[in-house]
Amino acid sequence: MSALFSLFIFPGVLFLIVFGLLAEFIDRKIYARLQNRIGPPWFQPLADIIKLLGKEDITPTHANVRMFTLAPLFAFTAAVCPILYIPIWGTKALFSFNGDIIAVLYLLTIPTLTFFIGGWYSTSLYARIGAVRAITQLFAYEVPLFMGILSPALLANTWSLSEMTVFYSQHPWYWCFNLIGFGVSVVALLGKLEKTPFDIPEAETEIVAGCFTEYSGRLFAFFRMTIDIEMIVGATLFAAVFLPFGLTINPVAGFVIYLIKVLCVVALLALMRTIVARVRIDQMIRFCWKYLAPLALVQVFINLILKILLFK
């Protein structure tokens, strides 16, 4: 019963949906205010989901029905599961094992693959162009993202997120050594979430809605919630890896601090997508391999050198 509660209520599906919709509202509100617009009301993300859930699911005539239908469900499931392995209000995750950071990164890769599958098997020209762009971006930002997040694990000498948080709570000033990795990871997360300037796979002025062009109703609602949940899980991962503050105090205060950290990451993402315009796919790939990947590699070398000097 405890495992089912954790999976479906807190910190699982229900909590992630509610927090994801709240984060979407904050993201859209900040984005609007920075553009001198009023922005949506607080209930707009929820109203959008309710509207989609009430609409009919329309499947294109020539689409692969099985792949077209299953892609949103796999995306949603893969976005929810990683939260179980990430410490939230303390130094211990609900389920922890040595190597869980690899499992979390793997699960966070699956939604992008399902975007590609859903777009490709819908057989729409716009959707297939968006699908190719989505999978192309994946190979650009994924390597810097992995190196940026795994470099703090090298310094902590563990592949467990729970053990990492214990290490950085015992050495609170070591987080300063991971600032380069944090910057690289935040930029890469914009690519994973397909937000400006990396919203190339669903560029509405070019290819309608990209991978999601043929989706409607409940299936599109699952994709929408997947992106919101993925943003929360990514920000939670950053909070545990790069912002290990307030993890050793009481659970209530630790949870409040967790909410603040996650919303700060969401606000940072909104700020970054406000000040930069969309780039082309070739520019995005060149930027990731020319700048992000070398910076992430520098972070790895810094942590390896510090590990030798501090813990020899």
* pLDDT of the residue at 24: 93
Sorting pLDDT into bands at 50, 70 and 90, what band is 7? confident
Mean pLDDT over 84-107 rounds to 89
Per-residue confidence (pLDDT) for residue 228, from 0 to 100: 93
Distance CA 116, CA 212 (A): 10
Cis peptide leading into residue 197 (ω within 30°): yes
Q: How far apart are CA 156 and CA 275, in angstroms?
A: 35
Domain interval for residue 21: 2-310
**Average pLDDT of the chain to the nearest whole number:** 89
Per-residue model confidence (pLDDT) at position 195: 87
Q: Give the residue-averaged pLDDT of 95-122.
A: 92
157 sits in the region (left: phi over 0; alpha: psi -120 to 50; else beta) called left
Name the domain count of the chain.
1
Check residue 249 and give its pLDDT: 67
The predicted structure's pLDDT at residue 58: 85
> Is the pLDDT confidence value at 8 over 70?
yes
Instruction: Read off the pLDDT of residues 34-52 as tens digits, 9 standing for 90 and up.
Output: 988 998 999 999 999 999 9
Q: What is the pLDDT of residue 312?
A: 64
Q: Give residue 307's pLDDT.
A: 86
pLDDT for residue 280: 87
Task: Report how far residue 5's alpha carbon sits from residue 136's, in angstroms, rounded to the nearest whole number.
Answer: 37
What sign results for the dihedral spanned by CA atoms 220, 223, 229, 231?
negative
The answer to whether the beta carbons of residues 116 and 135 sit under 8 Å apart is yes
pLDDT digits (tens, 9 = 90+) for 155-178: 988 999 999 988 988 887 888 899
Spatial contact of 237 and 149, defined as CB atoms under 8 Å apart: yes
Structure tokens of 189? 């997360």
For the stretch 227-259, pLDDT in tens is 999 999 999 999 999 988 777 667 788 888 899
- Does residue 265 have a pLDDT over 90? yes
Q: Give the integer Cα–Cα distance in Å for 266 and 273.
A: 11
| Number of other residues whose CB lies within 10 A of the CB of residue 259 | 14
Percentage, residues of the chain above pLDDT 90: 53
The Cα–Cα gap between 143 and 191 comes to: 12
Amino acid at 204: E
Give the sign of the dihedral formed by CA 91, CA 93, CA 95, CA 100. negative
Could you report the per-residue pLDDT of 290-308, keeping only the tens digit for each? 999 999 999 999 999 988 8
Dihedral sign of CA atoms 222, 87, 257, 146 in order? negative
Least confident of 134-138, 267-271, 307-311: 307-311
Q: SS3 for the chain, per residue? A: CHHHHHHHCCCCHHHHHHHHHHHHHHHHHHHHHHCCCCCCCCCHHHHHHHHHHCCCCCCCCCCCHHHHHHHHHHHHHHHHHHHHHCCCCCCCCCCCCCCHHHHHHHHHHHHHHHHHHHHHHCCCHHHHHHHHHHHHHHHHHHHHHHHHHHHHHHHHCCCCHHHHHHHHHHCHHHHHHHHHHHHHHHHHHHHHCCCCCCCHHHCHHHHCCHHHCCCCHHHHHHHHHHHHHHHHHHHHHHHHHCCCCCCCCCHHHHHHHHHHHHHHHHHHHHHHHHHCCCCCHHHHHHHHHHHHHHHHHHHHHHHHHHHHHHCC
- The answer to whether the CB of 200 falls within 8 A of the CB of 279 is yes
Residue tagged 């510090």 (tokens): 306
